Structure 1
């Protein structure tokens, strides 16, 4: 079995547990606070630290920090240890300052990310209070992110994938405590007290603290010994800034798009309660699940190898890594995208239709998720293509592609916001996302193919077509399960959704695996062999891919 598959499987297992506990966390959140004003206030406050981290750090990690750490490990006499310590010192001090400033500027930040929330309204006041409790997590999250990046460069992938599980478990306990304390009033924004908001906000931050502690302990066990270093002249900040300025530009552009999204969705939520930021956020989290489990795992393992291959001038290895990544990810993403488009409400009703969230609210989240299904493959391919540029140290091209993608996204969002009725606005925002990333993926492919002297487009297109054909019987079965459930249960509800999900989702995916295995899609055979433990021969290596591609051509 190939090393790529084994490493990706280990990470996928951790990410799967993380996403499953994340599901439970979101379920409990929906149960405790609902999708109306209280839910919108929490999700607005919760989104801000992630946006700030994207601007300052997270976008730079994959494109700049990981390649820089790899370079230091290869070139520095001490294997890059001093460089890692300088990096950790700088990030720690910077994010502590940023966290303090963000807490003080919480009212301005909430006003920036929302529309039509008056300063004296309950939504605004609650969102500001929650933001002040949640924003301190900036420092801990950033430190944990750098620790995870260092672990990845040392081929220690397990802890970064499993640490979020601890975060989810802590927050689940906090949300259950919040629901217990507030009773059935947790979704009523006018009845929540400051003490209850402190429990909710500080508990959310406690989850990030626990996650960071896990990563720091794992880093120490990997041989990293932290010692503060203030000799920033040796931190290669000049080189990092030259590489990172374009990445920061890309993140700024995408965050402007996200800011527009939150403003438009919050405005729609004001007009139609339950159709604002919260359904958009919940649907987006579910949409990200397949990519988070498979895509992130493959990309995390792929980028350091691609960076080394690009540094050595081995374009053939860069192409092999990219093609292997696309095939392995698409083997799962293709059927999942179709099932999301068909079974959206069947997925969201069992998850969200509890407590403060009604069945109708959950169905609407599912409708948004169905539209997001269109975006799953374009978004995934787009993210893979960005790593091709990053492996060459090119952070400029992703900014240009990202700027065009975000500009198109913003134009489509604004158009659909003014054209569609308020109850369909959030669905329109998801559709704009899908169209924009499809266009962005086409543009990125053309530029990345030129940079790598070809990406094997015909071969990848051939295997993707094969995967879609293998997915069609499962999609038909999913549609049939919906029709049967509607005949048995005339009104939407838990039983209706559960039947559709079990038959359409479970059996539909099983049917795809069987057909794809019979069609000799090597990635599916590898996954089945990994699960059953019966595979003994190497599969899905770059050499296999070249051989399979030659045979198909």
Structure 2
């Protein structure tokens, strides 16, 4: 799992770093004010619809069923895979067409009442260019799922790099000819933003289709669904749709409230929340997603064989491996969040104050890294058993907590603090949600080794505290000397972040945290070659 995770982590790291550049250019090109909020609201619509229709089903239902079909079907599951791909293409293409036709009502649903009619029109125009991505995302996701069940993890993690490169080229062009003023933006400039973003998804999908062809998959449209086993998938997927629907209800509340906050205080709305969340996802995406992707097919095989001891060991190993990177990342984001965002966002049409605000939101998100990552790992325990009902019930609890706390933040806090309060709501939600999920998953598997996992986490946190202190000292010293600028923030990240990370690795290694030792050994062996 460590080797597979390393392959995916390398691709994800390059993908996230180029994604950072893309995000920085986007903020520089359109800012975090009216046009930025309109773009980010429209950008999320195809992702929301894709999540509702397929993304959640992939991890919870499709991957375990493909694994079983490969084990049990005479043709190694090829016909089953072809039917799944056919169904995904037909359904998602139809949804994309309908979405383009009703883009304006969709945007009215997700935006705040205090948005002007022109701002909603701009968001709807962008959405029409972006919504065809639904079909492309579906094809790419199905290709990635099939590749993962064949233990081919590289292409799904490296393909987004090409997507980011295409979008970076588009944003460089927009910086030269576009505007951040929503009242002056032209239809041609909106077309450049929307079609350029979609072109990146086209390139990403082509890479995945080529990779799928190379492992021997040949797509042949198949609509002979009777007796294909898809009925079982549909029954299992019902609760996944409930899960995704409930989580998207929570996202709808978040979007409505954050766009409402942005309508009252420029730069403190949906764009700030969205950019901070993207940065928060970096350490999670590099390590946790990589481990989860490698872990789920293996756990599904162990459960199918009735080997619960191996399934428990796989999960415990995954939690410790993820936490060995997530724990120091969490504390370093708490300390260095504003420095990160100042380096990335203080350019073009952005200001240092706007960048700092995103950093304050990121600091709170950083605290949520550990509970959020463990929660996502716990969901895979249920999915490996084919249980999609329990995650749906937990999602209901999460959304109820998050929506309640976010509403309190919206109506109680000063406008500039609303989005920060909503990030804190996210933190509380996943602390409670991970506790509930752990209890239920432990009952299902006969124990998850909670004491051993907590002991390992405690050692990691102890090892990370000196690293955070060093980073904080560097932050204070540099800002006392040079103030808050992009250059001083870059120095803080390079010196404070680098020294802090090195100190954590050395301290954890001396404290005999085995996962850190394994990572150091893997890196050393690669360098030695």
2:167 maps to 1:171: yes
The Cα of 1:210 is off from its aligned counterpart by: 0.7
Q: Which residue of 1 aligns with 2:68?
A: 71
Tell whether 2:448 aligns with 1:455. Answer: yes
Task: Check whether the contact 1:470–1:515 (CA below 8 A) recurs between aligned residues.
Answer: yes
Q: Does 1:336 align with 2:336?
A: no
- Check the 8 A contact 1:140/1:212 in 2, yes or no: yes
The answer to whether residue 267 in structure 2 is matched with residue 274 in structure 1 is: yes
- Is 1:377 aligned with 2:370? yes
Q: Offset of 1:177 from its aligned partner?
A: 1.0
Name the CA shift for 1:40/1:534 in 2 (closer, same or farther; >3 Å).
Answer: closer
Does residue 13 of structure 1 match 2:6? no
- Secondary structure of the structure 1 residue equivalent to 2:447: coil
Q: Does 1:130 align with 2:126?
A: yes
Matched, 1:497 2:494: no
Task: Specify the alignment match of 1:349 in structure 2.
Answer: 342
Residue in structure 1 matched with residue 155 of structure 2 by the alignment: 159
Aligned residue among 97, 100, 125 for 1:100: 97
Correspondence 1:466-477 to 2 at 5 A: 466-477=459-470
1:551 counterpart residue number:
none
What secondary structure, in the 3-state scheme, does the structure 2 residue paired with 1:39 have?
A: helix
Aligned partner of 1:254 in structure 2 is 247
1:145 to 2:141 alignment: yes
8 Å CA contact 1:283–1:368 kept in 2: the answer is: yes
Asked if structure 2 preserves the Cα contact closer than 8 Å seen for 1:99 and 1:135, the reply is yes
Match of 2:19 in 1: 22
Q: Supply the distance in 1 between the matched residues of 2:407 and 2:514 (Cα, whole angstroms).
A: 43
Give TM-score, length-normalised by structure 2. 0.98
Q: Offset at 1:116?
A: 2.0
What CA distance in whole angstroms lies between the structure 1 residues aligned with 2:84 and 2:308? Answer: 30
Corresponding residue pairs, total: 528
**8 Å Cα contact 1:87-1:235 kept in structure 2:** no
Alpha-carbon distance in 2 for matches of 1:151, 1:233: 25
Q: CA-to-partner distance for each residue in 1:423-465, whole Å, 9 max, x for gaps?
A: 1100011000000010000000000000010000000000100
Mapped partners of 1:406, 1:120: distance in 2: 30
- Measure how far apart 1:180 and its partner are: 1.4
Unaligned runs of 5+ in 1: 537-553
* 2:307 counterpart residue number: 314
Distance 1:119 1:368, change over 3 A: closer
Deviates more, 1:337-346 or 1:228-237: 228-237
1:203 equivalent in alignment to 2:199: no
Q: CA deviation at 1:499?
A: 2.4
Could you say what the CA RMSD is over the residues aligned between the two structures, in angstroms?
Answer: 1.1
Map of 2:414 onto structure 1: 421
Structure 2 equivalent of residue 402 of structure 1: 395
Q: Deviations over 1:68-121 (max 9, x none)?
A: 111111111100101111111111011110000000110111111111255622
Displacement after TM superposition at 1:236 (Å): 2.3
Partners of 1:358 and 1:202 lie apart in 2 by: 27
1:233 aligns to what SS in structure 2?
A: coil
CA distance in 1, matches of 2:68, 2:516: 35
